[in-house]
Chains A and B, each alone.
Chain A
């Protein structure tokens, strides 16, 4: 019984980091000028849980790669974006790495602009993927 409890404990500890998303991706309105959007990067980099920050004006997204096992709560994210002078539209937590998001964005940039209706469909599909959660 003692051995079983020890194993169970070890398994739970081992799984714990997996309970945290790797990256937080946010849709932000008002992102049109890199010079003016620096405040977002500066504020988000100030969180102890932040590993890296990625901003794409073209896709209107701000992504934060988290340190292992750490997270930033939604209220803090909303405050960070608002304090930088922008409007947070949506937060998604994903297991996708920042490099993967960067690559996806670059790939989309290289391709002809997607139909907005199709894009919305893609976003809906993303919410259904494992590890992806969305909320307004």
Chain B
């Protein structure tokens, strides 16, 4: 009985992951390299959708903008936020076999919602800390969007493991466990997802599903 239930659960996961490979693809570091452009798109399990584009004049900062849509679990709140933002690489540690980073960002935008009148000026502030080797990856990101009418923070923790150490010209494959929490009445509890990440050249694709079977996907392009 238990085995059958596990089998059904695994099949459902596999189906959702394969389905995720079709149209969607998301986000990691907001700065690529000096004179590099980064395009990021994320589909967050039906709760959030975000698209961002940044240009980095130097390797330690980038400027650009994005669009974020938030939909609460209960269907009562919806936010559309368009923003301009600057990202700063506050600190980087380049070690022989690892790299660690701390990014911080801030910006201003325009927000609309279904539970307040008219567009509002919104503020965005956040940070990300990450550490990676060729086999292990971890990152924590906190992203706050607020206005005089709302305040939503999205906290995302990712822990990744690579089944093999990729080299420069090879396809990199990662298995990532993601935990995410929303504040401000968007979603209750922690949303947990299992993701598979692939990247080669300037293309990065990450797809998976949350424990309740919702699609979680990301794509990122550096050029």
Least distance between A46 CB and chain B CB atoms (Å): 9
What is the interface of chain A, defined by CB distance below 8 A to chain B?
Answer: 28-30, 32-40, 42-43, 55-58, 60, 82-87, 109
A-B Cβ contacts below 8 A, count: 90
Provide the residues of chain B in CB contact with A35, threshold 8 Å: 172, 199-202, 204, 220, 222
Provide the residues of chain B in CB contact with A57, threshold 8 Å: 134, 165-168
Chain B binding surface, main DSSP class: loop
Bound state CA distance, A3 and B4, in angstroms?
94
By the criterion CB–CB under 8 Å, are B168 and A37 in contact?
Answer: yes
B33 within 8 A of A: yes
Provide the residues of chain A in CB contact with B29, threshold 8 Å: 36
Q: 16 pairs across A/B with beta carbons < 8 Å?
A: A32-B99, A32-B133, A33-B134, A34-B167, A36-B32, A40-B33, A43-B34, A57-B134, A57-B165, A57-B168, A58-B134, A58-B165, A58-B167, A84-B33, A85-B33, A85-B94
Across the interface, B134 reaches (CB within 8 A) one of A32, A55, A84, namely A32
Least distance between A111 CB and chain B CB atoms (Å): 15
Q: Chain B residue with minimal CB distance to A41?
A: B168
B75 within 8 A of A: no
By the criterion CB–CB under 8 Å, are A60 and B96 in contact?
Answer: yes
The 9 closest A-B pairs by CB, nearest first: A39-B33, A30-B94, A87-B94, A85-B59, A83-B34, A55-B168, A29-B94, A30-B99, A35-B199
Least distance between A91 CB and chain B CB atoms (Å): 16
Q: Which of B191-212 contact A (CB under 8 A)?
A: 199-202, 204
